[in-house]
């Protein structure tokens, strides 16, 4: 299982390539360490998955009943913003231009470990989705982590 944490400020080169942070790269499963899956996130960011982790989500979405209009709409919109990307020998991956535009990515970006995946953000957009009040974070944790006890 992949295990990604922390956040890293990175730079894109002129061609839209990202050098994956060393700690993120080190946590990629060895079996598929050069092939990753990128999709447009639910927020204005990109999500990057090791193939083994993406297959779990793919199975859930692809397994929905195709005769249900709402499920088809979810499948269409989920899969249209997805693509395979590969790490080159220098540990870089090329972010497709439409995805750069979707997430409003320019030179400086933030890569965030999210457990089974990574998120790639425009730094200004990223700040809008952070909790800055420790009390709010505590209440959110209590609400979602204690209800299953």
How many structural domains are present in the chain? 1
Distance CA 136, CA 143 (A): 11
**Residue 1 resides in a domain:** no
Distance CA 90, CA 66 (A): 41
Which neighbouring-strand residues pair with 113?
A: 118
**Residue 2 resides in a domain:** no
Task: Give the residue among 85, 93, 96, 125 at the shortest CA–CA distance from 108.
Answer: 125
Domain ranges, residue 135: 7-145
Query: What backbone phi and psi angles, to 5 degrees, belong to 14?
Result: -60, -25
pLDDT band at 89 (very low <50, low <70, confident <90, very high): confident
State the average pLDDT over residues 86-113. 95
Q: What is the CA radius of gyration of the chain?
A: 16
Whole-number pLDDT of residue 32: 57
**Residue 74 resides in a domain:** yes
State the average pLDDT over residues 83-112. 95
Whole-number pLDDT of residue 27: 87
CATH code, domain with 16:
3.40.1550.20
**Residue 30 resides in a domain:** yes
């Amino acid at each position: 299982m992949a295990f990604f944490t922390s956040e890293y400020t990175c730079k894109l080169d002129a061609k839209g390539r990202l050098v994956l942070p060393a700690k993120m790269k080190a946590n990629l499963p060895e079996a598929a360490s050069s092939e990753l899956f990128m999709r447009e996130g639910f927020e204005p960011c990109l999500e990057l998955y090791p193939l083994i982790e993406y297959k779990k989500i793919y199975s859930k979405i692809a397994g929905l009943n195709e005769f249900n209009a709402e499920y088809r709409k979810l499948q269409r919109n989920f899969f249209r913003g997805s693509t395979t990307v590969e790490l080159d020998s220098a540990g870089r991956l090329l972010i497709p231009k439409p995805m750069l535009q979707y997430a409003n990515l320019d030179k400086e970006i933030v890569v965030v470990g999210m457990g089974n995946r990574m998120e790639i953000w425009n730094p200004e957009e990223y700040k809008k989705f952070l909790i800055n009040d420790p009390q709010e974070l505590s209440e959110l944790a209590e609400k979602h982590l204690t209800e299953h006890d």
